[in-house]
Amino acid sequence: MRIQIAAALCLVSFCYGDLYPTTPDGDTVWSVGSKVKIAWQDGDVPPRLASLKPFKIELCTGTDKQQVALQTISNSTKNSILEIEYTVPDVTPYGKIYFLRFTAPNPNRTADPFYFWTTRFTITNTDNPAPSPSTYGTGALATSATSAPNKSPRPERASPATSSQPSITQAASVADVEGSTTPSDGRRLTLSLMIPAFIFIFSAYLI
């Protein structure tokens, strides 16, 4: 399988296949709330764009090795489509710390999909067309809670047995707290009922 280094992304990442994003690029500046175009083309290297299954497009941020998906732009884009329109969400902070990630199913290895990226570009809330200086950091959607990070895709994927799993903390309901008893609680309750009964039987025997 051909492994192509996505040098334009300035990320230590790998992409499979040859979907070639053309817009946005490193000079692109997106203003919050504006409608923008996302475009791509066939890169003339197999697997060809026409052979790809419907793919997902995500707005991402984060470091080279720890990419964070902020928003799914399209969940199932057909390979016959070469551009889509997108309304830019509000983010924090503004700057050149955002990029797009394309994910297409791999029919030969379902656990190892094809990945493609754009270079980092700027999202801002002003009408200044100049891109911001290259910055480092992780952004977030301004109107949502902090997104959970996900590790960047690698050619060698960790097995489920060795992959780190996120911990999930759930608040207990009132019913869970007030109505629950431990096994030791149950034994104490049984003894508390048996002792008076034993005293009553023993007293009756003495009489």
Span of 104-113, 115-124, 125-134, 157-166 with lowest mean pLDDT:
157-166
pTM greater than 0.75: no
Give the CATH fold of the 26-141 domain. Answer: Immunoglobulin-like (2.60.40)
Give the tens place of pLDDT for each residue, 106-124: 989 989 999 999 999 999 9
Cα 74 to Cα 55: distance, rounded to the nearest angstrom: 8
HEC readout, 53-86:
CCEEEEEEEECCCCEEEEEEEEEEECCCCCEEEE
Q: Could you tell me which residue, 95 or 170, shows the higher pLDDT?
A: 95
Domain definitions of the chain by residue range: 26-141
